[in-house]
Structure 1
Amino acid sequence: MEDSLQRFFLEIAYDGTAYHGWQVQENAISVQQRLNEALHKILRYPIETVGAGRTDTGVHAKQLFVHLDIPVGRTKNEDRFLHSLNALLPHDIAVYRILPVEQDAHARFDATERAYEYHVHFCKNPFLLNKSWQLRDAPDVALMNQAAAFLVGTQDFECFSKSHTQVYTNICTVTQAYWQETNGGLVFHITANRFLRNMVRAIVGTLLDIGLKKKTPEFILDVIGSKDRSKAGTSVPAHGLYLTKIVYPYIDTTF
């Protein structure tokens, strides 16, 4: 007799430095692989996790949701389950919550909003190694924010997508995009309903060209209109990028 299954969401976070991204790969270690291995040891059941999205090699996640189906009754004590799972996971991956959801809930397709941050700093800091990108010259934040305002809205962002990526559409709705000054650095914030592969890193590279006065703020309109990746700026290093928030209509993701 087959086990009855209950669908759950897991809220996880990870430092992506040691991993080749979120998604399972044949010849490289990923976050998803380590999570699946730990879940299998605890549940003694072939677990398949589905993430809200993929992150590339070296990218971090402050909040990522995954869904999985677990035989009924095997997670009665949620605190014990989370403690055991975290004990089996490496130090750079953590699980914060396990949430029962409807059987048709989907971590990827049900997400209505995603948010990223990109961190840069200006002085050598060993504590920011692999966590932020060090810039030699400080860019003009006002110019970058002027340009970032042109990103807000629903439009075709093919120009910022990695080449030869197969997606059903390049249309995304960006609801906010701005730079914030911090102590010794800057953080770029961007929120949208969906993102294309490499999109945030390409946007940051383009905005930094504007901030360093290589281009004018209006240049970003020409880039978007071109739908040509070669017109945009260089893709910045992965280690400054963080997935920070995912929103669903039926769960509280601000916990």
Structure 2
Amino acid sequence: MTQPRPRYAPPEGFARLRLTVAWDGAAYAGWQSQPSAPSVQDTLQGAFLRLTPDVFRPVAAGRTDAGVHAEAMPVHVDVPARFGLPLPRLARALNAHLPPTLAVLDVGTAPPGFHARFSCSERRYVYRLLRTPQRHPLWAGRALHVPGELDAAAMNAAAAQLTGTHDFAAFATQEDRQTVRELRGLSVVPGQPVWEIHVAGESFLRHMVRGLVGTLLLVGAGKLEPGAVTDILASRQRAQAGANVPAHGLYFSGASYGKEERG
């Protein structure tokens, strides 16, 4: 029987807000606060501090790595209950204090018990591939350029064998947590000129998504048979899987929450 998720509340005298945030990952050393590099978390908190001195550090659904983009990241922030700026104006006010690389898309009151990270039941990513003979300057930093041919059917055959609950140690980098995860979705969607690899799961290991994509690219290029991915899983050895693809093609695309967190 599935245990109910814990319910979270802001500190006494504070109200919890829920935001949707987007950013260009090239400008940041990831979401998490860094002592000597710009982070999304610190930049967003800095904008809040321009509006109220009493604000807690924002919390996101996922801790993206340096260079990874976000299209729609759920975030919660605890502000004083007396915070007077009307919510319909808050996103614009915050964006006035944020650089062009980071934007708050919307703001609302968080439903009771909501926690952006711990209440999250699914996280989704998209990896984009520019499938053209020549590079394109408008996709630089937005998609991985792959000039060679790729076999989408073979990639999806391998993806089907990776989907489900497995030990993904072979796809993780320097991971000291337990490595069994449920991969709920993995699919390759060809397009013109950009292909997308969609990935979904409740949680992921360090660099797991980028390792999965790197392995699918080996399959697509004919350097690895689709069935070989089961042997890679069983090996639990990182050297058996494909290399991590660059961060600039990866986007956090969305997250899901239980009914009680949606309100």
Whole-angstrom distance in 1 between the partners of 2:157 and 2:43: 42
Match of 2:29, SS? coil
Gaps of 5+ in 1: none
In structure 2, the partner of 1:73 is 82
What TM-score, normalized to structure 2? Answer: 0.90
Deviations 1:100-146 (A, max 9, x none): 22564211111001111110112311110100011121211111010
Question: What code does the residue aligned with 1:212 have?
Answer: A
Q: Spell out the pairing of 1:11-50 with structure 2 (5 A cutoff).
A: 11-50=20-59
Structure 1 segments of 4 or more deviating over 3 A? Answer: 250-253
Whole-angstrom distance in 1 between the partners of 2:58 and 2:216: 35
In structure 1, the partner of 2:183 is 174
Q: Spell out the pairing of 1:79-228 with structure 2 (5 A cutoff).
A: 79-102=88-111, 104-121=113-130, 122=132, 123-163=134-174, 165-167=175-177, 169-228=178-237
Whole-angstrom distance in 1 between the partners of 2:250 and 2:81: 37
| 2:67 maps to which of 58, 62, 66 | 58
What TM-score, normalized to structure 1? Answer: 0.93
Gaps of 5+ in 2: 1-10
Deviations 1:186-221 (A, max 9, x none): 110111111111011100111111111111001111
CA contact (8 A) 1:40 1:47 kept: no
Q: What CA RMSD, in Å, does the superposition of the two structures yield over aligned residues?
A: 1.8
- Percent of pairs with identical residues: 36
Match of 2:96, SS? helix
In structure 2, the partner of 1:235 is 244
Tell me whether 241-250 or 69-78 shows the greater mean CA deviation: 69-78
Number of corresponding residues: 250
Whole-angstrom distance in 2 between the partners of 1:75 and 1:220: 55
Whole-angstrom distance in 1 between the partners of 2:39 and 2:232: 33
CA contact (8 A) 1:24 1:31 kept: yes
Whole-angstrom distance in 1 between the partners of 2:149 and 2:29: 30
Question: What code does the residue aligned with 2:183 have?
Answer: V
Whole-angstrom distance in 1 between the partners of 2:248 and 2:226: 26
Deviations 1:142-179 (A, max 9, x none): 1101000011111111111112x232x22221221111
Match of 2:129, SS? strand
Question: What code does the residue aligned with 1:35 have?
Answer: L
Whole-angstrom distance in 2 between the partners of 1:31 and 1:97: 16
